[in-house]
Amino acid sequence: MPEPMPDPPAAAGTINDEQATSTMVRRLALVVFLEWLGAGAIIPLFPLFLKDHGASPSLIGLTMSAFFLAGLLTQFPAGRLADRIGRRPVLVGGLFVYAGACLACMLPVSTWGFIALRFIQGGAAGAVEVASLALVSSNVPIERRGRAISRIFSAQLAGTAVGPLLGSLAGVHHMSLLFLATAMACTVAAIPVLTSSTIRSHDVIHVHHEPLVRLVMSRALLGAVFGAITLGLGIGVYEACWTLLLNDRGASSAIIALSWTAFSVPYVFFVRAAGWFADHSDRRALAALGLLVSVSFCIAYPFVTSIPILLAMGFLESMGFAFALPSLQAMMTEGRTPRELGRVQGIYASSQTGAIALASAVAGVLFGMHMFLPFLVSAGLGLLLTLALLVTWAPLDGHAHHEAPTTGS
């Protein structure tokens, strides 16, 4: 039996097509913002909430890491499911499952119950991320894809920047309100996915009876995986050690909280510019430069004793993250057919999430041995992976191939 023909890749279309895809991206950005607005309000206070419920430090760490472990285990299956049944069902399912897990946190749950609920939240958030990025990359032409993807990441970081500020207003003693608010935010986020004809019409995946075409690990995808792991290692170290480093330098709780916002806010704005550059410049150079900036700052942090300089460095490092992400995404999705992109996004997300989980688990141990170790080990591995990315991508063309002229690109 001949192998079924895959769906054609997204191509540049008319001005009306461009307007329709732009509308779809804006609505997806709203969905992602609402989800992470609620999630961001919970994250900073959740460890203190668990402590008040009698959890030991080790169980608190296990509960927080369960989120990333779930993403590692579920993001590729979620991407495969999105390739099989469509992006919208996975998006809506992820949002409703996240909302349900938040509501369950309001019940008299044991510490081990919170670990299970955090695991469910991680799997749901991973499904939403994979499905939303697959929906964008399968519909937006490559010459505009960097900017479109940057809007999704910008919305995600905006939610994580604003959410903690809102959560601090409620405080740890009113976590039930935050759980309810997050559940409501995720439910509201599902409304445009369910009702928008624009999103529905761009979910080109219909139920297929033939098997999915086998996914090939191309040079473009392999290089992006190296980049994803590099970013994940850095994020994992910061998750585990950044607060400890600032505390060792004498920073107050308010300054520590401000440092997380100081990282997120510039990213929200710079990632949009990074998306434009990804569509008009060599994406290989942009991704590598962004990764090298991140690695360089990771090396320098433990040698700096001034808190204001550390905050300024965090502000500047976010530019490296911002410039790497759209280029990594655009490189790995170019030339892929729509029924591959869910799995492509799943591989990328699983790689980054796995690196975060591993780095956050090991970094705490290394920090206990010497505060320099987690930063230097992460930076060393990141440098090697960035070099591997450059070698892997060297034969490829890093510029977007404009398949047809479009107005306003």
pLDDT at 348 over 70: yes
- Cα–Cα distance, 53 to 224 (Å, whole number): 41
Report, as an integer, the average pLDDT of 173-194: 90
Domains of the chain by residue range: 13-207, 217-399
pLDDT at 246 over 90: no
Q: What is the CATH number of domain 13-207?
A: 1.20.1250.20
Tally of CB atoms within 10 A around 16: 8
Q: Does the CA dihedral 155-157-162-163 come out positive or negative? A: positive
The CATH homologous superfamily for domain 217-399 is MFS general substrate transporter like domains (1.20.1250.20)
User: Considering only CA atoms, which of 37, 270, 55, 280 is closest in space to residue 159?
Assistant: 37
Report, as an integer, the average pLDDT of 16-33: 84
**Higher-confidence position of 319 and 353:** 353
Residue 219 contacts by C-beta under 8 Å, 6 or more apart in sequence?
392, 393, 395, 396
* pLDDT for residue 226: 96
Q: CA Rg, the chain, in Å? A: 21
Tally of CB atoms within 10 A around 13: 15
Same-fold call for 13-207 versus 217-399: yes
pTM of the model: 0.80
Average pLDDT, the chain: 83
Report, as an integer, the average pLDDT of 76-83: 88
Q: Using one digit for the tens of pLDDT, what is the confidence trace for 197-225? A: 888 888 866 555 567 778 888 999 999 99
Report, as an integer, the average pLDDT of 265-283: 82
Report, as an integer, the average pLDDT of 158-187: 83
* pLDDT for residue 209: 56
* pLDDT for residue 71: 84
Q: Using one digit for the tens of pLDDT, what is the confidence trace for 120-166? A: 999 999 899 899 988 888 888 888 888 888 888 888 888 887 887 77
pLDDT at 48 over 80: no
Residue 110 contacts by C-beta under 8 Å, 6 or more apart in sequence?
none
